[in-house]
Amino acid sequence: MVQLHVKRGDESQFLFNAAVDEPLETVIQQVTAIYNGRLKVERICSEIPELADHGVTLPPDMQGLAEEQIVELNLKDEWEDECVPSGGPSFQRDELGRRNGHAPNGKMKEVLMRTVEEAKALISKKQVQANISVTMEMVQEALDQLRGAVMIVYPMMLPPHDPIRMEFEEREDLSGTQSSLRVIAEDECQLWWAGKEMQRGKKLQDYVGKNEKTKLVIKIQKKGRGAPAREPLLTDDQQKHMNAYYYKRQEELKKLEEPDDDNYLGSDWSDRNALKKTFQGLTKIKWGPR
């Protein structure tokens, strides 16, 4: 299998394995699915701590309003009594006014936060350093773990307008958010290697040959953005080691260029007659006035 080290810009994303005779259409489809799936996991993991701290999301027309405004406008959260966390709620006011404040108790909160850490670990960028390739099955496992934890804490599920439920049901609306800039649609996805776009309709072996043990650093980006910056010839660690080596070598050459130090010629240990002077009592003689 060919190992692809997928990056966006200079930032590592994940490792992906593909057969050398795999059509690039299939590779692009799978890489895009994993890339976007990891982003979905990250978005859910960023919302769950808010759920654990402040409960479910208020209806859109109530978000950001003060209690006086809610009373004045005669608004009511119809999901408040239905979406109650297991074990009963613990009130924690949301200063941002996004959530209803009926947070899960300590035990249920622990379930949510522990699952978040487990899901993050499955799709973490640290998997690159560990040389572990990410698959769509791993991404789906992370999503299933998160969905299961939410259902344990909220058996009646979340309200339909809650962003976590919308993510699970593929109804998320990312328009106008920073997250929308990171998502890449499959038909807009391009893979680049060695300054060349890997064209759909070809196979992986058309670019890298038939060696199944090849390792490539490829970059993923949206169509129409031009060629991404090429990978540097040396990594940061290699550059640091090289700089340290040349600095050490430079210091050694400087020492070699310095004139020989012959001060040792005046030292007692270099005097050929030192033993004779010792027997004659001529050592430690000082000349001059007392």
d(CA 200, CA 98): 44
Going by pLDDT thresholds of 50, 70 and 90, the confidence category of residue 255 is confident
pLDDT single digits (tens) 89-140: 999 999 989 999 999 999 999 999 999 999 999 999 999 999 999 999 999 9
Average confidence score pLDDT of the chain: 87
Q: What is the pLDDT of residue 232?
A: 61
6 against 226, higher pLDDT: 6
Q: What is the pLDDT of residue 212?
A: 86
277 against 68, higher pLDDT: 68
Judge whether 149 lies within some domain: yes
d(CA 101, CA 120): 26
Instruction: State yes or no: pLDDT of 218 exceeds 90.
Output: yes
Residue 268 phi/psi, 5° resolution? -60, -40
Which range among 32-41, 162-171, 252-261, 267-276 shows the weakest confidence by mean pLDDT? 267-276
Domain residues for 186? 2-55+104-222
Judge whether 124 lies within some domain: yes
Judge whether 81 lies within some domain: no
Domain count, the chain: 1
Helix (H, G, I), strand (E, B) or coil at 222: strand
Which range among 171-175, 244-248, 279-283 shows the weakest confidence by mean pLDDT? 279-283
- With a pLDDT cut of 90, the percent of the chain lying above it is 60
Instruction: State yes or no: pLDDT of 261 exceeds 60.
Output: no
Judge whether 165 lies within some domain: yes
Helix (H, G, I), strand (E, B) or coil at 171: coil
Contact 77, 62 (CB under 8 A): yes
Judge whether 125 lies within some domain: yes
Q: What is the mean pLDDT of residues 130-153?
A: 96
Q: What is the mean pLDDT of residues 261-284?
A: 63
Q: What is the pLDDT of residue 266?
A: 57
Judge whether 235 lies within some domain: no
Residue 266 phi/psi, 5° resolution? -90, 5
d(CA 111, CA 117): 10
Q: What is the pLDDT of residue 260?
A: 56
Judge whether 198 lies within some domain: yes
Judge whether 189 lies within some domain: yes
Q: What is the pLDDT of residue 258?
A: 67
Instruction: State yes or no: pLDDT of 161 exceeds 70.
Output: yes
